[in-house]
């Protein structure tokens, strides 16, 4: 899901906000989303 949002050019904050709407308390923290976004943009899958 996060990979799709990164490819869709959403910011980590926007991604986190969308995840919160769906997963509520089970969503990853903003810092985790930022870390994953950075990794995905650098080519890790």
- 20 secondary structure, DSSP code: H
pLDDT of residue 3: 92
pLDDT of residue 44: 78
Distance CA 45, CA 42 (A): 9
pLDDT at 45 over 80: no
Q: Which residue carries 């997963």 as its tokens?
A: 23
pLDDT at 23 over 90: yes
pLDDT of residue 4: 94
**3-state SS assignment for residue 13:** helix
Distance CA 25, CA 45 (A): 25
Domain range for 4 is 1-43
Tokens of 37: 């976004």
pLDDT at 10 over 90: yes
Considering its fold, how many domains does the chain have in total? 1
């Amino acid at each position: 899901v996060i990979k799709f949002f990164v490819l869709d050019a959403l910011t980590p904050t926007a991604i986190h906000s969308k995840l919160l709407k769906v997963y509520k308390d089970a969503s990853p923290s903003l810092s985790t989303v930022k870390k994953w976004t950075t990794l995905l943009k650098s080519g890790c899958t």
